[in-house]
Amino acid sequence: MAQAIVQDWTESSVLLKYDEHRDVKYRVYREGEALFQEIRGTDDAFIHTLEIPDGMKLEKSSYEVLLRYVLLDVIAA
């Protein structure tokens, strides 16, 4: 199934906690009816892909907030 880009690769420096940050890049894409946020390190190393639930089609700034929560969860795991 073909992917349709909603938001192309965007670099971000994500504040985690205690003055720590992580430099990442992410993109948002649609595959069929599903919407995904793929997160990679700036070295292109895969970090996580999140399927965004129906009804959460967001603005660009909201994807940045979602990115922080996903990273905090992935790092804690």
Measured between alpha carbons, how far is 41 from 36 in angstroms, rounded to an integer? 17
CB 39 within 8 A of CB 71: yes
Give per-10-residue mean pLDDT for the chain (77 aa). 87 81 90 90 93 72 74 67
Question: What's the pLDDT at 66?
Answer: 77
Residue listed under structure tokens 């700036």: 42
CB 50 within 8 A of CB 58: no
What domain range is 7 assigned to? 3-76
Domain count within the chain: 1
Task: Quote the distance between the C-alpha of residue 43 and its chain's center.
Answer: 15
Question: What's the pLDDT at 61?
Answer: 67
Amino acid making up residue 46:
F
